[in-house]
Chains A and B, each alone.
Chain A
Amino acid sequence: MRNRKTLIVLAVACLMLIIAVMPALSACGPQAQPGQVLKVGIITPTSGPAAEKGAPMGDANLDAIQYINDELGGVEGYKIEPLWFDSNYDTAKVATIVKNLMDQGALLFTTSSSKEMQAAMEIANRAEFPGLVCFNAPSLHRPPQHIYGQTPDYGDDWSAFATYYMKNIWKGSGKPKMALLVLNNPTGYGARDAARAAASGLGIEILWDGAEGKAFEHTTTTTSEIESLTRIKALDPDVLYISSTPAPTALIVKNASELGMFPGVTIGLGHASFTKAFVDLATPAVAEGVYGVFPTVNWGDDVPGMAKAVEYAQKLHSKDVGNLDYVTAWAQSLVVAEILKNAVKNAGYDALAKGDVTSWRAIETQGIQKLKDYEVGGLQGPISYDKGDNRLSKALRIFQVKSGAITPVTDWIEAPLVKYEDFDWFGK
């Protein structure tokens, strides 16, 4: 009898113990086994004509993944394995790199420039291989397929700047006259398309280069824009908007200064132009007063995610300290980690293990499309997926070069969705 009582007590005790440790056991979940990693493709133009942006971005992408793996223990216990490639800003190379990434079982891939993603997007869309682009153009995600924007696009830059200009800078009567001097690729054409779609609604007159819809253009390798600026100057603009990369932008601003246009005309820059490299190349004295749009906070701002970015830049890539492109790409890797976290939680590692189209679908439906109000450590606008809109972040800030430093002049501005595909002039 006594033995029976002892047995009952022991059984109840065991049962209580099991009930007590059950939540802890279930919280542990499946453990990562050796060799179980989450592969992510990273393409950056670390060399070539866009290296002034691509090099710090490649550094930041890899530094952030090192931080996630070393200090955060990876994603849900699984290490991220970066498959990094330098595209040399060459589209033929990008095409083979993307195929290589798909073969190696990457779960998604990132690019640092719209040109790279433009070369990769159709291959990726056909295979349903999800891509995340850092510097984003409307043509990459309109209509939405499998490419997502980490940040708003170049068209959103124009809309944000134009809205700010009309509210805060323009004091004249009638419509201000705006000239666009843009790069002859998606970086420039994104801004051109936005101006074409929305300028009249904002009360701005665009000074086209002849026919409507034709902006003044330049190339990445331009050595002088005196000729185009002289033609623009003859049209008497109130504002000059440049959507380009830092080196040509610096040249244009210098040329505008030499022609006596600036200061005088307000200059606004899209986010691919506006970074420390621009200020350094143009010299702080010439760049003083230039406005710019950027999708992240400023270097060193007091936000939770900044400390680690600064620490890793100082520790591993001191040349990148102060560079906003480093912050953008660091944030990109954090967004990738969040996508992977969602996917592992919602679909499980086994669904991702193959690295094939079923895994890519899981990443898209259970990872990317489950993103909701992810703060990215405050480094950029919050990340959410909204159906029909592949821009994961819609928020931008306006900055100005003041005393040689890039200084924010607004809080986050939300850029509305523009359905470019509804316009018959938008590319098919």
Chain B
Amino acid sequence: MTLPCGIRNYTYAEDMAIVRTGTHWVLLIGFLILLFTAPLYFNNYWLGVFNLIGITLIAAVGLNILVGYCGQLSIGHAGFIAVGAYTSAILTNRLEMPFLVGLIGAGLLSGLVGLLFGLPSVRVKGFYLAITTIAAQFIIIWVINHWGLTGGGNLITAPYPSIFGLEFRAESSQFYLIIGIAVLGVFFAKNLTRTKVGRAFIAIRDNDLAAEVMGVNLLYYKLLAFFIGCFFAGIAGALYAHWLGSLNAEQFSFTESILYVGMIIIGGLGTNIGPIFGVVFIRVLQQVLTIQLVPFLEKSVTVLPSGFATGITPMLFGLVIVLFLILEPRGLAHRWSLFKASYRLWPFSY
């Protein structure tokens, strides 16, 4: 990482630190204080949006490890989230197990299902691998719709999350649970990418043949990437189930899977901060269009024909994403890097 002028590392520990200067610490602590005091400033609706962002972020971080770092294209992420959601709902509702068992069980089962569908990655890659993950999406949803344990297409409910007798009923308490896990997930992913495992992932992504020649075990690391990516998806699914309270397989559509890929591309593939930017951008854009813009246009701009605003919204959503990809193909993370560099060098341009 580039350091401000005059700052040097004198020990290995200093060189490896994530937070490296006093300014970094102040900014980080300030951000965390702002984040965790959000329930004081925002109403339930916005806390609900933050919770949705937190859940989406956990899943997107997992997908970023799989696609962004290890280069294994997956277009079935919503299916793996569904595995986690249904696992936790079944464990906590039907088998009346504690929430934590449901949460960890969801992550593990999703990870194992991910391993299963990741097996073809040993032989195929790129678009061919994408096709196998699309198959995972449809197979998982089919099983959910037809298996008695998952409700066979009927509604399945999940109770409020509860840890050691502390029940997370209010939106604000769920916020602490979800955002807390999201922060841990982001921190884990950040660290993972700096370890031997993370470097093996990057080596496989950049050139798997060269990586193998260097001694990286492709089978092990590719499957590990699938396991970790889908473990994150499972955790996100479990939180989604308990946050929403009721599940139907339609909530985990193929469109959602594509949206997840879109989020990490918009945020910046293979960067730690990318999923945060991508998820916040997409989810806030959805809310602004749905909650703010459409009712405003329909109510206030009476010269528009009826239904115009609702019709134009999906187009606007698509247009923003397309423009984004044209103007900033390396994602918001790249723009953030440019901003940081210019801030660091200011007032000089070099």
Contact = CB atoms under 8 A, between A and B. Distances in A.
Interface in A178-196: 184-186, 188-189, 192-193
Contacts of A185: 153, 248, 250
B154 A122 contact: no
A428 interface: yes
* Chain A contact residues, majority secondary structure: helix
A121 interface: yes
A354 interface: no
A85 B290 contact: yes
B291 A184 contact: no
Contacts of A293: none
A88 B315 CA distance: 12
B251 interface: yes
Contacts of B249: 184
B44 A102 contact: yes
Given A119-B246, A185-B248, A84 B154 contact: no
Interface string A150-179: 000000000000000000000000000000
Nearest to A137: B155
Interface in B151-195: 151-157, 160, 169, 171
A85 B313 CA distance: 12
Interface string B271-309: 000000000000000110011001100100000001100
B290 A93 contact: yes
A122 B244 contact: yes
B314 interface: yes
Contacts of A85: 290-291, 294-295
Contacts of A415: none
A414 to B, nearest CB: 25
A139 B313 contact: no
A126 interface: yes
Contacts of A55: 307, 310
Contacts of B245: 121-123, 125-126
A214 B147 CA distance: 10
B154 A189 contact: yes
Interface of B, secondary structure class, is helix
A104 B291 CA distance: 12
Interface stretch (B26-34, B45-53, B205-213): B45-53
Interface string A86-115: 111001110111011011100000000001
A115 B248 contact: yes
A121 B148 CA distance: 22
A126 B154 CA distance: 19
Nearest to A99: B48
A91 B246 CA distance: 11
Interface in A31-54: 46-48, 51
Contacts of B49: 96
B311 interface: yes
A9 interface: no
Contact of B145 (A96, A126, A217): A217
A316 interface: yes
Contacts of A193: 154
Nearest to B243: A95
Contacts of A87: 290
B250 A96 contact: no
Contact of A46 (B52, B160, B171, B310): B310
Contacts of A123: 244-245
Contacts of A97: 290-291
Interface in A278-310: none
Given A99-B48, A99-B171, A47 B154 contact: no
Contact of A428 (B156, B295, B298, B307): B156
Nearest to B43: A103
Contacts of A103: 43-45
Given A84-B298, A99-B171, A100-B291, A139 B155 contact: yes
A99 B45 contact: yes
A85 B45 CA distance: 14
- Report which residue of B52, B94, B157, B246 has the largest number of chain A beta carbons within 10 angstroms of its beta carbon: B246
A213 interface: yes
Contacts of A125: 245
A317 interface: yes
A23 interface: no
Interface in B73-114: 93-94
Contacts of B251: 91-92, 119
Contact of B48 (A46, A96, A317, A427): A96
A427 B151 contact: yes
A59 interface: yes
A185 B157 CA distance: 15
Contact of A118 (B155, B295, B311): B155
Contacts of B43: 103
Contacts of B93: 428
B146 interface: yes
With a 10 A CB-CB cut-off, give which of A102, A103, A193 has the most chain B CB atoms: A103
Given A102-B44, A103-B44, A428-B157, A96 B291 contact: yes
Contact of A122 (B157, B290, B306, B314): B157
Nearest to B153: A189
Contacts of B243: 95
Contact of A100 (B45, B151, B244): B45
Contacts of B295: 83-85
Contacts of B154: 139, 186, 189, 193, 426-427
A104 B292 CA distance: 13
Given A184-B145, A428-B156, A86 B313 contact: yes
Contacts of A100: 45, 48, 291
A47 B317 CA distance: 13
Nearest to B151: A427
Contacts of A189: 153-154
Contacts of B246: 118-119, 121-122
B157 A99 contact: no
A126 B286 CA distance: 25
Interface string B108-133: 00000000000000000000000000
A51 B314 CA distance: 12
A59 B309 CA distance: 13
Contact of A213 (B152, B155, B157, B298): B152
Top 10 closest A-B pairs, CB basis? A122-B245, A427-B154, A122-B246, A99-B48, A100-B45, A427-B151, A46-B310, A47-B310, A139-B155, A103-B45
Interface of A: 46-48, 51, 55, 58-59, 83-88, 91-93, 95-97, 99-100, 102-104, 115, 118-119, 121-123, 125-126, 139-140, 184-186, 188-189, 192-193, 213-214, 217, 316-317, 319, 425-428
6 contacts: A83-B295, A95-B52, A99-B44, A99-B48, A99-B171, A428-B151
Given A86-B310, A139-B155, 14 more contacts: A88-B290, A91-B244, A91-B250, A93-B286, A99-B45, A99-B171, A186-B155, A192-B153, A319-B306, A425-B152, A428-B94, A428-B151, A428-B156, A428-B157
